Amino acid sequence: MATPFSTIYPMVPRRLLLFVGHLGLAALSNWLAFLLRFDENIPSQQWDLFAAMLPLLLTVRALTFYPFRLFDSLWRYTSLRDVRDLALSIAVSTILFAGAVRFGMGLWSYPSSVFVIDALLLFCLLTGLRTAPRLIRETSWIGTSRKRVLIVGAGDAGAMIVREMRNNPFYHYRPIGFIDDNPSKIGHRINGVRVMGSRDSLPRIIAEQSPDAVLVAMPSAHPSTIRAVVKALEPYDIPIQTLPNLRDLLQCRVEVAQIRDLSIEDLLDRIPVDLDPEPLRKLVQGERVLVTGAGGSIGGELCRQVARLSPAALVLLDRYENGLFAVTNELTAAGYAFVSPLIGDITDVGRMNRLFAEYRPTLVLHAAAHKHVPLMEGNPCEAVLNNVMGTRIVAEAAHRHDVGRFILISTDKAVNPVSVMGATKAVAELLLQYLCRSSRTIFTTVRFGNVLGSNGSVIPVFLQQIRAGGPVTITDSGMRRYFMLISEAVHLVLHAARLALGGELFVLEMGEQISVVDMARNLIRLSGLVPGKDIALTYLGPRPGEKLVEELVAGQEAVEATSVQKILCVRHDPARDLSHLPGLIMRLEQSAAEGSVSKVLAILCDILPTYRPSDMFPVHESVGDSDVMTVQDSLPSAANAVTIAGLSQADSPGRK
């Protein structure tokens, strides 16, 4: 690498050399102006005039160049601003010199054309001198073994990244062309790089140019646009890279160092960047917070975000010791001394009462639940005991101990449920509506769809299958799901919690539903493989409890916007008759404790008129003793249960 000029010469000698060099070029340009004016035959009288006026000219030039700081800039970074300052300094010094000659000294014999020719020549000389280092640096990639990059997006970000690549040879990138869907840009050049065509031209362009990588330079693009780009590049075994989203860029500046591999997060809708964190601090700061299911994906992220908001105490409850241990270690290592990890089961009444009496939580975030759809279809009684009875026990403990707020984490599968898991979560939502009518505790539910990478969900399963060489198993080609990042879903949950007044059901807007097939193909493509060629896709058919398309809001639910973007509120009718609910829930829990699957499913149907269980379990019209089926008759075989657990979980958000 060449040694910078400023390293060889210290700053003061460098400025001195630049000063002498500028004045030397000023003298040269003035002499050349006289030569051009007199066709290379300067009369002796004009020679004398040139020699007499040259000291004054150089003095005026020097005094004018200094205020414009022409000796301070680094030429390798010469910009249009530097060229502008150079032009202004030459124009001002020329006007001052001409005024001094004409009106100060009365020399009308000095040729007027020399003023103009001299200024133009000096501008060309100094501009050429300044731009030469940059030109040499920016063309140094020619003939070198740089990575050939095809850039998708011929906007401001693409233009900046091309300029950055050329300004910094050590980045080893060579832009070979742009792809852009704007017809007015096709065929034109941006920073010397041609816009070769639209996405429809990708097959031809990739065949002709053979790029080493494709860079998606669209920081402000909607995720659906990024997904379309990935889909267009699906047949080609070429690495796909991108720039950070505008929300993640500092001062909206694009640099080559920010280039990274495209990830699945780039294909999802994101929450607004302008959510004020201060209301969350007011919600949590100084409070005693209990998080149930703290060892799970959602529960763990709730703990992380709550810890950053300075609670007086943070109680982590889970019956799964490994997950709880990991989250506790993470928080303790971060210096949070107010963390108290507790092993316990939310269905243990005595344990919950002792916990609430000892720690006196003022805010409860209830994330503990069974959420694995296929497993719960095979274990409906356990789903009821954990999701319904566990929620009731924790909620009633919160009521007895005057907890300020109780937030239930629910799921889109509770809307028009067709699965046991969804039905039990729907019952839990109704339970909180009932409890809030006679309690000082604010009971509120927050409902949302799948979160990216949660325990047991589709993304980790797909990634595991890809690492194993495939095939990637999908239940149905028409399956579509909502997806959101865990951190952003939890952030919105906390914002919903501070909006709660009691009895609301908040719904997180999760953007458009994404095809599970497209998600699988995108994951394969982002892993550097080609779907159908390197990794096969296998379709297994829908399983019991699965819907092809999920819903966040039921048809009969009235939805209204809130003061927080991406959060909607479902207002329930306060006059709705829920007086029958406690009795039905009591019978439901008793049937689950007895292991009576048929009774459990029948009572779920009584509570939820829209729920109809899958064909796995026949349900009789009544729940009298004569209609009770044996557990052995209603459960699937052990072999089938193993098969259900082993398939990809496209329908399950996993354990939150």
pLDDT tens digits for 518-536?
888 888 888 778 888 888 9
Residue 527's CATH number: 3.40.50.720
Give 294 or 636, the one with higher predicted confidence.
294
Q: Which of 78, 105, 138 is the last residue of a domain?
A: 138
Q: Which of 138, 162, 178 is the last residue of a domain?
A: 138
Residues 217, 128, single domain; the answer is no
pLDDT tens digits for 5-17?
444 445 457 677 7
- Predicted confidence at residue 78, as pLDDT, reads 63
Find the mean pLDDT for residues 385-411. Answer: 96
Structural domain including 35 reads: 5-138
- Predicted confidence at residue 231, as pLDDT, reads 83
Lowest-pLDDT range, 139-143, 210-214, 325-329? 139-143
Residues 216, 341, single domain; the answer is no
- How far is the C-alpha of 640 from the C-alpha of 638, rounded, in Å? 5
* Residue the block writes with tokens 């998606």: 216
- Predicted confidence at residue 653, as pLDDT, reads 34
- Predicted confidence at residue 296, as pLDDT, reads 93
Find the mean pLDDT for residues 362-384. Answer: 94
- Predicted confidence at residue 169, as pLDDT, reads 61
The answer to the question of residue 21 being in a domain is yes
pLDDT tens digits for 194-229?
899 888 888 889 888 888 888 888 877 777 788 888
pLDDT tens digits for 604-619?
999 998 898 865 555 4
The answer to the question of residue 651 being in a domain is no
- Indicate the helix (H) or strand (E) that contains 482: none
User: For residue 591, what pLDDT band results from cuts at 50, 70 and 90?
Assistant: very high
Q: What is the largest CA-CA distance in the chain?
A: 130
- Predicted confidence at residue 39, as pLDDT, reads 83
Find the mean pLDDT for residues 479-493. Answer: 88
Among candidate residues 563, 446, 507, 498, the one with its CA nearest the CA of residue 279: 498
User: For residue 139, what pLDDT band results from cuts at 50, 70 and 90?
Assistant: low
Residues 110, 161, single domain; the answer is no
Burial (CB count within 10 angstroms: exposed 0-12, middle 13-18, buried 19+), residue 370: buried
The answer to the question of residue 656 being in a domain is no
The answer to the question of residue 184 being in a domain is yes
- Predicted confidence at residue 621, as pLDDT, reads 42
Can you say how many angstroms the Cα of residue 175 is from the centroid of all Cα atoms in its chain?
26
| Amino acid of residue 248 | D
- Predicted confidence at residue 633, as pLDDT, reads 34
Residues 237, 128, single domain; the answer is no
Find the mean pLDDT for residues 246-252. Answer: 45
pTM as predicted: 0.68
Quote the mean pLDDT of the chain. 82
Q: Which of 216, 236, 262 is the last residue of a domain?
A: 262
Q: What are the phi and psi torsion angles at 313 (to 5°)?
A: -150, 150
pLDDT tens digits for 402-421?
999 999 999 999 999 999 99
The answer to the question of residue 601 being in a domain is yes
- Predicted confidence at residue 640, as pLDDT, reads 31
- How far is the C-alpha of 388 from the C-alpha of 339, rounded, in Å? 27
Residues 254, 350, single domain; the answer is no
User: For residue 572, what pLDDT band results from cuts at 50, 70 and 90?
Assistant: confident
Lowest-pLDDT range, 94-108, 130-144, 476-490? 130-144
Strand partners, 147: 173
Q: How many structural domains does the chain have?
A: 3
- Predicted confidence at residue 558, as pLDDT, reads 81
Residues 487, 443, single domain; the answer is yes
The answer to the question of residue 104 being in a domain is yes
The answer to the question of residue 654 being in a domain is no
Q: Which tokens go with 410?
A: 């629910």
The answer to the question of residue 443 being in a domain is yes
